[in-house]
Amino acid sequence: MSDKVKYEMEFEVKSSTSVLFNMISTPSGLSEWFADDVNIKGDMFSFFWDGATESAKLLTKKKGESVKFQWEDDIEEGLKTYFEIAIKVDDLTNDVALIITDHAEEDEMEESQRLWENQINDLKMVIGS
């Protein structure tokens, strides 16, 4: 397996930070845009898509700011990868953005970024942004 490469993406979102934080940090919020369904047990989140299930451990949760997860498969392989969804507010304009930090293998980078673009577009539709 080749090494995964870290990348960052930024998306402007017209929403309050409290609404956004709920959408990125709770099973009910995540199931509206990120996966078909989301269950939580302790610090493990199970994400369901079209009959497939992936589990991720919640590494950190900073109220109103960010959540960071690590896929269970990456934990088992001893990888130091994660994905983080962070809320950033511009001090001057008060514009709100989501910063996505993720890791992908070099040959899957474009597909991974496209997937995030689609997911964030779904989020924007759900919140009316």
Is 25 a residue whose pLDDT tops 80?
yes
Report the share of the chain in percent with pLDDT over 70: 98
**What torsion do the CA atoms of 113, 117, 119, 125 make, to the nearest 10 degrees?**
180
Task: Decide: 21 and 110 in contact? Cβ < 8 Å.
Answer: no
Could you report how far apart the first and last alpha carbons of the chain are, in Å? Answer: 39
Average pLDDT over the chain reads: 95
Q: Which residues contact 112 (CB under 8 A, 6 or more apart)?
A: 7, 102, 104
Q: What's residue 39's pLDDT? A: 96
Domains and CATH numbers, the chain: 4-127 (3.30.530.20)
CA-to-CA distance for 103 and 60, rounded, in angstroms?
A: 17
Determine the Cα–Cα distance for residues 19 and 106; give it in Å rounded to an integer: 34
pLDDT, residue 14, reads 94
What's the pLDDT score for residue 2? Answer: 55
Whether 129 shows a pLDDT value over 90: the answer reads no
